[in-house]
A and B are shown apart, each in its own frame.
Chain A
Amino acid sequence: MSILINKKTKVIVQGITGRDGSFHAEQMKKYGTNVVGGVTPGKGGTKVASIPVFNSVKEAVDKTKANTSVIYVPPAFAVDAVYEAADAGISLIVCITEGVPANDMLKAYDYLKAKGVRLVGPNCPGIISPDQSKVGIMPGTIVKKGPVGVVSRSGTLTYEAIWALTCAGLGQTTCIGIGGDQIIGTNFIDVLGMFEADSTTKAVVMIGEIGGTDEEEAAKFVKKNMTKPVVGFIAGRTAPPGKRMGHAGAIISGGSGTAAEKIKALEAVGIPIAASPTEIPALIKDKLASVRKKGKAKPKMKKKTAVKKTRTARKTSGKRTAVSSKTKKGKKAPKAGTTRKRAGAKKRK
Chain B
Amino acid sequence: MKIHEYQAKELFAGAGIPVPKGDVAETVADAVSIAENMGRPVMVKAQVHVGGRGKAGGVKYAENVEAARVWAQKILGMDIKGLTVKKILVTEAVDIVSESYVGIIIDRATKCPVIMVSAAGGIDIEEVAAKTPEKIHKLAVDPTAGLKAYQARDLAAELYRDIKLVRQAANIIMRLYDVYWKVDASLVEINPLITTPDGKVLAIDAKINIDDNGLFRQKDVAAMRDLDAEDPSEVEAREGDLSFVKLNGNIGCIVNGAGLAMATMDLVKHYGGEPANFLDIGGSSNPQKVLTAMRIILRDTNVRSILINIFGGITRCDDVANGIVMAYEELKPEVPIVVRLTGTNEQQARKILKKVNLQSADTLDNVVKKAIKIAEIDESAVGRL
Contact = CB atoms under 8 A, between A and B. Distances in A.
Interface of A: 19-20, 23-24, 27, 75-76, 96, 98-103, 105-107, 109-111, 125, 137-139, 141-142, 152-160, 163, 180, 182-183, 207, 209-210, 212-214, 217, 233, 235-240, 243, 245-252, 254, 275-278
A209 B259 contact: yes
B258 A237 contact: no
Interface stretch (B70-78, B211-219, B223-231): B211-219
B270 A276 contact: yes
Given A106-B111, A245-B105, 16 more contacts: A96-B314, A100-B213, A101-B211, A106-B113, A107-B143, A110-B144, A137-B313, A142-B343, A212-B108, A213-B108, A238-B268, A245-B187, A245-B209, A251-B125, A277-B263, A277-B364
Interface stretch (B28-36, B90-98, B277-285, B327-335): B277-285
A76 B263 contact: no
Interface residues of B, number: 73
29 contacts: A76-B216, A99-B216, A101-B184, A102-B186, A103-B106, A103-B214, A137-B283, A138-B313, A142-B343, A153-B259, A156-B311, A156-B313, A159-B311, A159-B313, A159-B343, A163-B311, A182-B108, A207-B259, A213-B108, A217-B109, A233-B263, A235-B259, A238-B275, A245-B105, A246-B189, A247-B189, A251-B136, A277-B263, A278-B365
Nearest to B255: A156
5 residue pairs, one from A and one from B, having the closest CB atoms:
A154-B259, A156-B257, A157-B259, A106-B143, A248-B105
Contacts of A180: 258-259
Contacts of A20: 284, 314
Nearest to B310: A156
B143 A103 contact: yes
Contacts of B238: none
Interface of B: 51, 101, 103-109, 111-114, 116, 125-126, 129-130, 133, 136, 138, 142-144, 180-181, 184-187, 189, 191, 207, 209, 211, 213-214, 216-217, 245, 247, 255-260, 262-263, 265-270, 275, 278, 282-284, 310-316, 342-344, 363-365
Contacts of B258: 154, 180, 209
Best-buried of B108, B247, B310 by chain A (most CB within 10 Å): B108
A106 B101 CA distance: 24
Contacts of B268: 238
Nearest to B214: A101
B367 to A, nearest CB: 11
Contacts of B104: 248
A247 B129 CA distance: 9
Given A183-B108, A247-B191, A278 B143 contact: no
A239 B138 CA distance: 29
Given A107-B144, A160-B263, A101 B213 contact: yes
A75 B216 contact: yes
Contact of B125 (A75, A141, A247): A247
Nearest to B218: A101
A156 B260 contact: yes
B314 A246 contact: no
Contacts of A106: 106, 111-113, 143
Nearest to A142: B343
B221 to A, nearest CB: 12
Contact of A278 (B101, B255, B256, B363): B363
A99 B213 contact: yes
A248 B117 CA distance: 10
A155 B283 contact: yes
B51 A247 contact: yes
A254 B104 CA distance: 15
A137 B284 CA distance: 11
A19 B125 CA distance: 48
Given A75-B213, A156-B311, A245-B187, A275 B270 contact: yes
Contacts of A238: 262, 265-266, 268-269, 275
Given A156-B256, A159-B343, A125 B314 contact: yes
Contacts of A27: 344
A247 B53 CA distance: 13
Contacts of A275: 270
Contacts of A109: 111
Given A139-B343, A250-B129, A19 B284 contact: yes
Best-buried of B126, B138, B185 by chain A (most CB within 10 Å): B126
Contacts of A156: 255-257, 259-260, 310-311, 313, 315, 343
Contacts of A103: 106, 113, 143, 180-181, 184-185, 211, 214
B108 A214 contact: yes
Contacts of B106: 102-103, 106, 182-183
A248 B106 CA distance: 9
A213 B109 contact: yes
Nearest to B128: A251
Given A103-B181, A107-B143, A182-B106, A251 B313 contact: no
A210 B263 contact: no
Nearest to A162: B311
A250 B284 contact: no
Best-buried of B142, B187, B315 by chain A (most CB within 10 Å): B187
Nearest to B113: A106
Contacts of B111: 105-106, 109-110, 183
Contacts of B105: 245, 248-249, 252
A54 B269 CA distance: 50
Contacts of B343: 139, 141-142, 156, 159
B265 to A, nearest CB: 5
Given A156-B257, A248-B187, A251-B136, A240 B313 contact: no
Contacts of B214: 101-103
Nearest to B101: A247
Nearest to B123: A247
Contact of A251 (B126, B270, B284, B363): B126
B289 to A, nearest CB: 14
Contact of B187 (A23, A246, A276): A246
